[in-house]
Amino acid sequence: MSKSPLNTVLIHGVPRSGTSWLGQIFNAHEDVAYRYQPLFSHAFKDRLGPDSSSEAVEEFFDDLMSTDDPFVLGRDSDIHGSYPTFCKSAEPTYLVVKHVRYHHLLTNWLDSLDGLKVVALVRHPCAVMLSWLNAPREFKPEWNPQKEWRSAPAKNQGRPEEFNGFERWKDAARLFLRVSKERPQQCRLVQYSDLVADPLSETESVFEWAGLQPTAQSTAFIRESTSRQVEGAYAVHKIKNDDQRWHQDLPPAIADAILSDIKDTELEPFTR
């Protein structure tokens, strides 16, 4: 097992789970070097696989600290144009990396890097499905929601790194639940509903688990980001009713099928 660079924290969640907001909460901390979906970038595409060695995993995370790739740094104007800019320390002590893909590599990374921590964010599956159906860059107008919501065949195209659709939500939720139970010191499970309901308290708890202390800048961002709702698929401003729209806007047949599917299973608590 190799030693992780600095203090390394990974944010994992399926697409449309609120990882952009949680990522910016971490990014607002002065001591955090934040990196955005590196394995989805041209610079780091296919760098790691399920059987990557500890040395390869360590080198990957080391390289993330020195990258100048604008996508990985969160400076792609088309995607990150609405993201805030934060003051940073000259020598950050934390590397925080967001992933909405490649969850199937998570166990390998945890086995490979000593000291690695994972914050696994899980959102109500009905809210995730509604957000995905309404995201122009994620769900094409010609796709049929009734054919896509469950397995996302047009979006995932059978690729193991993709986690769109309800079935892949279940795969990720089960993985996060299992890892958080087996490795509570390494993996912290966070429900999006808890983060939305009390973002300051939940962030303080997650930061303490990761070894961070909230700062004036990170606290100010949380207050500002929850003071108003900004429309947009990649907005990082949230208000409490943001997670309840599925009750009115998600087709009832889809919502009923989702809730029925996971009723009386280990995943049902994520719908409460």
Residue 2 β-bridge partners: 113
Residue 7 β-bridge partners: 94
pLDDT of residue 238: 53
The CB-side HSE value for 97 (13 A sphere, CA atoms) comes to 30
pTM for the model: 0.93
Q: Which amino acid is at 254?
A: I
SS3 244: coil
pLDDT of residue 181: 97
215: CB partners within 8 A, 6+ apart: 28, 29, 30
Residue 118 β-bridge partners: 10, 187
Q: Give the Cα separation of 22 and 116 in Å (integer).
A: 18
Provide φ and ψ at 35, rounded to 5°. -130, 140
Predicted confidence pLDDT, tens digits, the chain (272 residues):
766 667 999 999 999 999 999 999 999 999 999 999 999 999 999 899 999 999 999 999 999 999 999 999 988 777 666 788 999 999 999 999 999 999 999 999 999 999 999 999 999 999 999 999 999 889 999 999 999 999 999 999 999 999 999 999 999 999 999 999 999 999 999 999 999 999 999 999 999 999 999 999 999 999 998 886 555 545 555 555 567 899 999 999 999 999 999 999 999 999 98
Largest CA distance in the chain: 52
Q: Which amino acid is at 10?
A: L
Domain extents for the chain? 2-271
Q: What share of the chain is helix, strand, coil (3-state, %, to 5)?
A: 45, 10, 45
Q: Give the Cα separation of 220 and 272 in Å (integer).
A: 29
Tell me the CATH number for domain 2-271. Answer: 3.40.50.300
Instruction: Compute the Cα dihedral for 231, 232, 236, 242 and give only its sign.
Output: positive
The CB-side HSE value for 179 (13 A sphere, CA atoms) comes to 27
pLDDT of residue 76: 74
